[in-house]
Amino acid sequence: MPTKQIKVFVVDVQNKVLLPTTPRRARKLLNTKRAQVLQVMPFTIKLNRIVNNPIGSFTYGIDDGAKYIGIAIINEYTKEVVFQGEIRLRQDVSKKLLQRAQYRRTRRTRNLRYRTRRFSNRKQMTPFPSIRQRKDSIIRLLKDMMKRINIVKVIVEEGIFDTSSMAAGRKLYGKEFQQSEYEGKNWRAKVLWRDKYQCQHCDSTNDLRAHHIRWRKDGGTYRVSNGITLCEKCHIALHKGLWQLNIKPKFFQYPMWLMQGKKYLREQLKILGMEVEVVYGWMTAFWRKQIGLDKSHSNDAISMVCKTYSPKINSLNWFIMPRRTKVWENNPSKTCTEKNGFRHFDIVKSKHRTRGIVIGSIRSLRARAITLRTSFADRFTVSYKKTKLIQRPNGLVYLMG
Within 10 Å of residue 380's Cβ, how many Cβ atoms? 17
Stretch that binds Zn ion, among 96-104, 135-143, 229-237, 240-248 (CB under 5 A): 229-237
For 281, the 3-state DSSP assignment is helix
Task: Provide, rounded to whole angstroms, the least separation between the CB of residue 209 and Zn ion.
Answer: 7
In the bound state with Zn ion, the residue whose beta carbon lies nearer, of 1 and 242, is 242
In which element (H, E) is residue 27 found?
A: helix 23-31
For 249, the 3-state DSSP assignment is coil
Task: Provide, rounded to whole angstroms, the least separation between the CB of residue 206 and Zn ion.
Answer: 9
Cα–Cα dist 300/287, whole Å: 9
In which element (H, E) is residue 9 found?
A: strand 9-11
Cα–Cα dist 356/342, whole Å: 21
Among 8, 81, 154, 199, binds Zn ion (CB under 5 A): 199
11 forms part of the interface with Zn ion (CB under 5 A): no
192 forms part of the interface with Zn ion (CB under 5 A): no
Stretch that binds Zn ion, among 91-99, 226-234, 277-285, 295-303 (CB under 5 A): 226-234
Task: Provide, rounded to whole angstroms, the least separation between the CB of residue 166 and Zn ion.
Answer: 20
Helices (H) and strands (E) in the chain, counts: 9, 18
In the bound state with Zn ion, the residue whose beta carbon lies nearer, of 234 and 365, is 234
Stretch that binds Zn ion, among 15-23, 72-80, 149-157, 198-206 (CB under 5 A): 198-206
For residue 70, the cross-strand partners are 63, 86
Per the CB < 8 A criterion, the answer to whether 17 and 148 are in contact is yes
* Residue 231 φ then ψ, to 5°: -80, 165
For residue 320, the cross-strand partners are 87, 398
DSSP state of 226: G
In the bound state with Zn ion, the residue whose beta carbon lies nearer, of 228 and 283, is 228
In the bound state with Zn ion, the residue whose beta carbon lies nearer, of 202 and 377, is 202
389 forms part of the interface with Zn ion (CB under 5 A): no
For every residue of 348-395, which 3-state class applies, written as one string? EEEEECCCEEEEEEEEEECCCEEEEECCCCCCEEEECCCEEEEECCCC
- Count residues binding Zn ion (CB under 5 A): 7
In the bound state with Zn ion, the residue whose beta carbon lies nearer, of 201 and 288, is 201
Among 189, 234, 279, 283, binds Zn ion (CB under 5 A): 234
In the bound state with Zn ion, the residue whose beta carbon lies nearer, of 213 and 390, is 213
For residue 286, the cross-strand partners are none
188 forms part of the interface with Zn ion (CB under 5 A): no
Per the CB < 8 A criterion, the answer to whether 137 and 88 are in contact is no
In the bound state with Zn ion, the residue whose beta carbon lies nearer, of 91 and 221, is 221
Per the CB < 8 A criterion, the answer to whether 38 and 18 are in contact is no
Crossing angle of helices 179-194 and 166-173, in 10° steps, is: 130
In the bound state with Zn ion, the residue whose beta carbon lies nearer, of 69 and 231, is 231
Among 101, 125, 202, 389, binds Zn ion (CB under 5 A): 202
Stretch that binds Zn ion, among 206-214, 363-371, 377-385, 391-399 (CB under 5 A): 206-214
Cα–Cα dist 111/94, whole Å: 28
Among 46, 211, 297, 373, binds Zn ion (CB under 5 A): 211
Within 10 Å of residue 185's Cβ, how many Cβ atoms? 20
29 forms part of the interface with Zn ion (CB under 5 A): no
Among 201, 262, 288, 307, binds Zn ion (CB under 5 A): 201
In the bound state with Zn ion, the residue whose beta carbon lies nearer, of 60 and 187, is 187
Task: Provide, rounded to whole angstroms, the least separation between the CB of residue 357 and Zn ion.
Answer: 52
Task: Provide, rounded to whole angstroms, the least separation between the CB of residue 202 and Zn ion.
Answer: 3
Cβ contacts of residue 14 below 8 Å, gap of 6+?
50
228 forms part of the interface with Zn ion (CB under 5 A): no
Among 149, 208, 231, 362, binds Zn ion (CB under 5 A): 231
Residue ranges that bind Zn ion, judged by CB under 5 A: 199, 201-202, 204, 211, 231, 234
